[in-house]
Amino acid sequence: MMRHGGRSDKRSDRGTRLELQSVAGPRLLANMSPRKGTCIVVGASSGIGLALARRLAQSQRKVAMLARREGELEAQAALINESLANEFAKAYVHDVADVDAAEGLFDRIEAELGDVDELHFVAGVMPEVGPDEFDLGKDRLQVQVNFLGAVAWCNAAARRFQARKRGCIVGVTSVAQDRGRIGRPVYNASKAGMDTYLEALRNRLWRVGVQVTTIRPGFVETPMTAGLRLKGAIPADKAAELILGARDGGKAIAYVPRKWRLIMFVIRNIPSFVFRKLSI
């Protein structure tokens, strides 16, 4: 099963009709070169990753779609190509936990589809964790996929983009990274680690014209959130629309949707002795 939006066999990719909202965050680079190279989407078999791959292909970009679930991934790539009457999307089966495979697969994608100038890392796992559970196996998986997987793919992209003095890296973290919650300690920590890593990468690469955009989604309808009954969750396609808007706006950090910027400002400023008693 593909690790995008969580370890779940449930599928959710609803809604495509909401109007574009602005995305908060400082601008990173004023002028970016035209976007025309190959895109990689890590975590592309469902949810936000699939919606991103579809939108990128609709803009006539070649898209390498990476996911663990071979059958679903290939079916989704075929649907995209059929809808566009062209071969823009190509499926590459990949387990994000296999971090050592990233470099070789990046080389293969460039050999087959041409130079990559845009990477979207959307993969993630969020297993159920009981309030009194401390499971190293679950914790290890979250660190391996959510953090080390991101580092492996973003490092591979950064090395190439730095040499070429162009490119764009978009990393999808979570509003969960802003505080250490009771419910899923290592999910929070893995996303916080990824978020800090992306900031460091951005600070390294801006000098050579490479954009690094951090996306902090709030509630989004994905396989990972299926069954959580999240009030106000937006469809995955709407999230993808906002993410690409943040990319095009040269944002360094964007909360998706924008309202989460204010929500998380409040949550970050709740005193620890109060926050520990809350279930948010």
pLDDT in tens, the chain (280 residues): 334 444 433 333 333 333 333 333 445 444 445 678 999 999 999 999 999 999 999 999 999 999 999 999 999 999 999 999 999 999 999 999 999 999 999 999 999 999 999 999 999 999 988 888 999 999 999 999 999 999 999 999 999 999 999 999 999 999 988 888 888 899 999 999 999 999 999 999 999 999 999 999 998 887 666 666 677 789 999 999 999 999 999 999 999 999 988 888 888 888 888 988 887 7
pLDDT computed for residue 253 by the predictor: 97
Which residue type does 28 have?
A: L
What six digits make up the tokens of 85? 């009457």
In this structure, is the dihedral angle defined by the CA atoms of residues 254, 222, 198 and 89, taken in order, positive or negative? Answer: negative
pLDDT computed for residue 227 by the predictor: 62
Rounded to whole angstroms, how far apart are CA atoms 47 and 222? 5
pLDDT computed for residue 101 by the predictor: 98
187 is catalytic: yes
pLDDT computed for residue 134 by the predictor: 94
Catalytic pick from 92, 187, 197, 255? 187
Domain boundaries, the chain: 38-275
What six digits make up the tokens of 105? 């697969």
What six digits make up the tokens of 7? 């370890």
Nearest CA-CA partner of 53 in 31, 33, 73:
73
Q: How far is CA 191 from CA 45, 54, 126, 170, in A?
A: 21, 25, 10, 14
Rounded to whole angstroms, how far apart are CA atoms 11 and 2? 11
Domain topology for 38-275: Rossmann fold (3.40.50)
